Amino acid sequence: MSSIEKDAGLVSYLRAGLLRWYDANGRDLPWREAGGPPDPYRVWLSEVMLQQTTVPHAAPYYEKFLKLWPTVGDLAAAADEAVMAEWAGLGYYSRARNLIKCARAVVAEHGGRFPASEATLLRLPGFGPYTAAAVAAIAFGEAANVVDGNIERIMTRLYAIEDPMPGAKVRVREVAQQWVAADRAGDWPQALMDLATAVCRPKSPLCLLCPLREGCAGFASGEPERFPVKLAKAAKPRRHGVAFVFIGNDGFIAERRADKGLLGGMLGIPHTPWRDTPWTEGEAKAVLGDFSHEKVGAYEHVFTHFALSQDIWVIPLSLAQRQAVLRAHNDWQWLPWEEARALPTVFLKAVKGLMPS
Ligand code: SF4
């Protein structure tokens, strides 16, 4: 036994305690169905949506997707644009593209049923180690080692792991494996996730309410919130752009973005390239061309790898101008104001203040 491992008897005792806590305190989430085995499609959909997103933000999207596409076969048959539009606002759009690809692979290669093992799930589009383990455990009861950021936090605290993340990930997986068992294999990761949300919180863990406290080295250290140890973060680079919002009374111009690259295949708003230095009026005007514009504001949006500062220019169009502009750009379309929600957040921010109330 390595020095960091815990005694198997202690692990089993604490594990049972956490599962009892879960039975009494587990969250009532839309994808947790009472009675019967969980539907793998629902488990998968919720897990994909919850990556990088909070439960309150993801829940309405989950409900909407299930209503529109109740089965994986329905989702596989959906038009790409429809799925991308409904995904707008959830961010990380490559997940939506993989969602469609995965649904189609499940139908084409597995007869419309998700394969029941972690190893086979891992071969499906968009399935990384976390999603494969989570779906295998929750939907199929496989004793898979499910480790996400929340479970990492609990494990680094339980074992007071001093190595900084992300370098400590391998070690975290090793210690998390100690707790994996066939008994209630699907409830175990969900119990950990609920504990991470309600008790082992990032900033102020409520250790006195925690069923794992007796075996927690982080609690014993007196400074559990010190874990996981993180390396100091470098500041995000900043980019600058100008959004061109061509408007009429009933809507505005949206562009279909190229398939490859950031927000590929999504609707967007025409804009200058995003670069390291701010755009001067003259430079942006040269990109816009021969239109009258008014600068109406600016906004910020933070992506994973950079922060964007974007000016908003409004270009009012007459009907004749609109028709000419649309003829000149194949990838541009007129979007009624009420469909603005199909835009990813970074572009919705550019039009939000212009929409009729
Ligand atoms: Fe987290 Fe505190 Fe529980 Fe340890 S005792 S797992 S630090 S809440």
Question: What is the predicted pLDDT for the residue at 304?
Answer: 86
Question: What is the predicted pLDDT for the residue at 35?
Answer: 64
pLDDT over 70 percentage in the chain? 98
Question: What is the predicted pLDDT for the residue at 2?
Answer: 43
Question: What is the predicted pLDDT for the residue at 32?
Answer: 80
The whole-chain average pLDDT of the chain stands at 94
Given ligand 1 and candidates 156, 161, 208, 216, which is best to mutate, with the most ligand atoms within 8 Å of its CB? 216
Would residue 47 show up in a list of annotated catalytic residues for this protein? Answer: yes
For residue 153, the CA-to-ligand 1 centroid distance in Å is 9
Query: Quick check: 240 pLDDT over 90?
Result: yes
Segment 113-137 mean pLDDT: 96
Query: Quick check: 233 pLDDT over 90?
Result: no
Query: Quick check: 3 pLDDT over 50?
Result: no
**pLDDT tens sequence across 269-299:** 999 999 999 999 999 999 999 999 999 999 9
Question: What is the predicted pLDDT for the residue at 5?
Answer: 73
Cβ-Cβ contacts under 8 Å for 160 (sequence gap 6 or more):
217, 218, 220, 221, 227
Segment 155-167 mean pLDDT: 95
Q: Is beta strand 294-302 parallel, antiparallel or unpaired with respect to 332-336?
A: unpaired
For residue 185, the CA-to-ligand 1 centroid distance in Å is 21
Q: Which residue has the higher pLDDT, 1 or 235?
A: 235
Q: How many CA atoms lie within 13 A of 255 on its CB side?
A: 21
Segment 201-215 mean pLDDT: 96
CA 276 to chain centre: 26
Q: Is 251 in the pocket of ligand 1 (CB under 6 A)?
A: no
Q: Which of 33, 47, 225, 300 is catalytic?
A: 47
Closest ligand 1 atom number to CA of residue 157: 7
Question: What is the predicted pLDDT for the residue at 1?
Answer: 41
Query: Quick check: 108 pLDDT over 90?
Result: yes
Query: Quick check: 78 pLDDT over 50?
Result: yes
Q: Phi, psi (5° rounding) for residue 19? A: -65, -35
Question: What is the predicted pLDDT for the residue at 53?
Answer: 85
Identify the top-confidence range among 88-97, 210-219, 231-240: 210-219
Q: How far apart are CA 177 and CA 188, in angstroms?
A: 12
DSSP string of 79-121?
-HHHHHHHHTTS--THHHHHHHHHHHHHHHHHTTS--SSHHHH
Question: What is the predicted pLDDT for the residue at 231?
Answer: 85
Q: Amino acid letter at 83? A: V
**pLDDT tens sequence across 29-58:** 888 876 667 899 999 999 999 987 889 999
Q: Is 91 in the pocket of ligand 1 (CB under 6 A)?
A: no
The enclosing H or E element of 314 equals strand 307-316
Q: Is beta strand 307-316 parallel, antiparallel or unpaired with respect to 238-247?
A: parallel
Segment 336-352 mean pLDDT: 94
Q: Which residue has the higher pLDDT, 270 or 262?
A: 270
Segment 21-26 mean pLDDT: 96
At 212, the pLDDT band (50, 70, 90 cuts) reads very high
**Is residue 152 within 8 Å of residue 192, measured between CB atoms?**
no
pTM for the model stands at 0.74
Q: Phi, psi (5° rounding) for residue 231? A: -75, 150
Q: How far apart are CA 279 and CA 295, in angstroms?
A: 13
Strands (E), 260-347: 267-268, 294-302, 307-316, 332-336
Question: What is the predicted pLDDT for the residue at 261?
Answer: 86
Q: Is 215 in the pocket of ligand 1 (CB under 6 A)?
A: no
CA 264 to chain centre: 16
Query: Quick check: 347 pLDDT over 50?
Result: yes
Segment 99-122 mean pLDDT: 97
Q: How far apart are CA 108 and CA 12, in angstroms?
A: 42
Q: Strand, helix or coil at 47?
A: helix
Q: Which residue has the higher pLDDT, 357 or 267?
A: 267
Query: Quick check: 348 pLDDT over 90?
Result: yes
Alpha-carbon distances, residue 135 vs 16, 52, 103 (angstroms)? 22, 17, 14
Segment 143-149 mean pLDDT: 97
Segment 55-69 mean pLDDT: 95
Residues constituting the chain: 357
Q: Is 228 in the pocket of ligand 1 (CB under 6 A)?
A: no
Closest ligand 1 atom number to CA of residue 206: 8
